[in-house]
Structure 1
């Protein structure tokens, strides 16, 4: 028996950091949603008790450093599963890009193995398991659009945002989330995004307000560390995106666009100097 799971990328429409927690994490408040750029996972039971991962991408680890591997090991240990699994990971989401590709792979692995091994684990339990693997994994298990708080694991589902095109562009650099958070001085943040305004724009279907309410307090840290991210952001604004923001800790920058003609113009304009550019829709 084989099972197949889709692992979509996420973007942060709004990301605020409120404080540094005693456990080393940061207290955050975020609005996250998913886009139609996805990895695909194929899972097949093995006769021997082992975890094997393969991928067409030559740049990702295929051992315990891989979050999908960690998810498979966690579910085996927690539910005492003495069976093995072969996971093939068809990688489409850029790595270390602020799009939660690894977290989404882990979430898809949890969902897929729950079906493959007929474990009947509730969605809530899967999300709690996912929180042990990373702050974005519970959201990726749940999917959709959500207001996240705590370190990202407390989720309040939201309606789908107003439908639009999303142009994603990743410069040829990798950004460490830990480094960006490490350089963030919470007490010196001057412009906190309005999370209530973003939530209101989604609940009322206001695309214009959603674009005006975009905000990410990590952006300035990453833009200072990597000038090419700032240049990419400025290029997307100059080409006419309705709203522009960096996702997560970066370096991917996204632009929200209401009309396909404008999306095509921005996509073609960025492709001239940025290799990894995608034009996708929001997942609704």
Structure 2
């Protein structure tokens, strides 16, 4: 028995963040979509619950301790109860680490889907979603990897508006950004955003319409992230200066940024040009939406 699935990159098309509550958590509002590119997670028979990591960014996870894939598997087994045969995971780490792409949460979501399919097929969606939500703010959204509007701490999900095909380019300058440090800078600045969902149509008819609407939104963590890692600002400026980019923005708490393009050809052209200009940057041509496999 062996099965594998995509753990897609998560992209925050916008991210509005409010002031921290008494518990220290920030309320947010974000339109999340998922890329047809990401890590891959494989589940296979094994002698014990185990995880092997490989891939171009696998070395960055060495020594990180308790990976979210294993935490997700243990949480599902505890929920399912009963005797279980041991299984082992292989994580092909293709996304940069600490990159604002929800990589760990998406890996965990992929692991949960595989475990339910192969080990606990009677486990209901609600139980699986509760396990995913317990693993972190992005856990619930990353379980099914569908476009969603996320609120609260990220656990309150509602369907996203209808979206056209989104041709995009993801760019990471090769730096990692600490999410807690970004939030500390954000709090120190005191420029908290409105977290009520902005008015939006039931569906966007074109990527141009969506990009125009996104221009009225923001990523509230972008400025503190750029202050911590000026290379993010270099990426944003580079993308914004290219004719194919309808809009350029940072995802999550950074450091990955994205550009939406009008067509597949324009996205491919932009990706090739950025790779030629900045060979040390990670550049990924993709489509945004979801779910994918």
TM-score for both structures, normalised by structure 1: 0.91
Partner of 1:259: 263
Contact 1:31-1:195 at 8 Å conserved across structures:
no
Distance 2:26 2:211 in 1: 26
Cα shift at 1:113: 0.6
> Which residue does 2:142 correspond to in 1?
140
Aligned in 2, Cα 1:185/1:115: closer, same or farther, shift over 3 Å?
same
- Provide Cα deviations, 1:211-240, integer angstroms capped at 9, x if missing partner: 133320001111111111111101001012
Q: Contact 2:17–2:192 (CA<8 Å) still a contact in 1?
A: no
User: 235, 240, 248: which one pairs with 2:238?
Assistant: 235
Distance 2:267 2:120 in 1: 43
- Does the C-alpha gap of structure 1 residues 160 and 45 become closer, same or farther in structure 2, counting only changes over 3 Å? farther
5+ residue gaps, structure 2, are: none
- Cα distance change of structure 1 residues 268 and 172 upon mapping to structure 2, 3 Å threshold: same
Q: Residue 246 of structure 1 aligns with which residue?
A: 250
Select the residue among 79, 90, 93 that pairs with 1:91: 93
**Structure 2 residue aligned with 1:269:** 273
Q: Does 1:35 align with 2:35?
A: yes
Number of residue equivalences: 280
Q: 1:52 aligns to what?
A: 50
CA distance in 2, matches of 1:155, 1:147: 6
In structure 2, the partner of 1:79 is 80
CA distance, structure 2, for counterparts of residue 27 and residue 186 of structure 1: 16
Cα distance in 1, alignment partners of residues 125 and 7 from structure 2: 16
Which residue of 2 is the match for residue 10 of structure 1?
10
Q: Larger RCO: Structure 1 or Structure 2 (Cα < 8 Å, ≥ 6 residues apart)?
A: 2
Cα deviation for residue 124 of structure 1 reads 2.2
Distance 2:189 2:235 in 1: 28
Deviations 1:22-75 (A, max 9, x none): 2222111111011111211111133x4x31111222222477521101111111
SS at match of 1:189: coil
- Runs (5+) with no aligned partner, structure 1: none
User: More displaced, 263-272 or 9-18?
Assistant: 263-272
1:88 aligned counterpart, secondary structure: strand
In the other structure, the counterpart of 1:124 is 126
Cα offset for 1:79? 2.4
Distance 1:165 1:196, change over 3 A: same
Q: Which residue of 2 aligns with 1:161?
A: 163
Q: CA deviation at 1:191?
A: 6.5
CA displacement at 1:77 relative to structure 2: 2.3
Question: Residue by residue, what CA displacement relative to the aligned partner does 1:180-209 show, whole Å, maximum 9, x if unpaired?
Answer: 112213883276588424x42x62324223
Q: 1:187 to 1:233 in 2, by over 3 A?
A: closer
Aligned runs of 1:185-200 on 2, under 5 Å? 185=187, 188-189=190-191, 195-197=197-199, 199-200=200-201
Answer yes or no: is the 8 Å Cα contact 1:62–1:69 preserved in 2.
no
Displacement of 1:101 in angstroms is 0.9
Segment of structure 1 superposing worse, 154-163 or 219-228:
154-163
Query: Is 1:170 aligned with 2:172?
Result: yes
When normalised by structure 2's length, the TM-score is: 0.88
Which deviates more from structure 2 when the two are superposed, residues 202-211 or residues 217-226? 202-211
Equivalent residue for 1:107?
Answer: 109
